[in-house]
Amino acid sequence: MRITGLLAIALFVAGATSTSVLAQDDKLLADPDIVIEVGGLACPFCAYGIEKRLMKIEGIEELSVHLEEGTVEVRLEDGATVSRERVEGAVSDAGFEAKSVVFVNEDAEESQSDG
């Protein structure tokens, strides 16, 4: 009895978490500044870990994780710059590999050397 109750609670918590992350997973950002290809993205908890680390970087306004594509789209705050190294470091800190980091517009690409 006790194990069944704990299992039900665990499934409820996992289901609630995956629903909120999956809802974000469907969201495409209009005009992302950075697109990151991430190796190893497999589940909503992976998406949450990536999101948590990247959102700690000053200048990142919004992001969207796409599990099926294995990508993360990032939009920067107006005038913000983020270096490739910071992005790669955050992805690595979350336990994943940044296979590619593409700065979509020229302003974002020029900011790669800024820390």
Model confidence band, residue 29 (pLDDT cutoffs 50, 70, 90): confident
Q: In the chain, which ranges are continuous DSSP H helix?
A: 2-25, 44-54, 84-93, 106-110
The pLDDT value given to residue 19 = 34
Amino acid letter, residue 63? L
Model confidence band, residue 1 (pLDDT cutoffs 50, 70, 90): low
Q: With respect to CATH, is domain 2-113 assigned 3.80.30.20?
A: no
Average pLDDT, the chain: 79
Model confidence band, residue 3 (pLDDT cutoffs 50, 70, 90): low
pTM for the full predicted model: 0.70
Give the CA count within 13 Å in the CB-facing half-sphere of 12.
Answer: 6
The pLDDT value given to residue 111 = 46
**Reduced DSSP (H G I as helix, E B as strand, rest coil) percent helix, strand, coil of the chain, to 5:** 45, 25, 30
Region 61-65: mean pLDDT is: 95
The pLDDT value given to residue 4 = 54
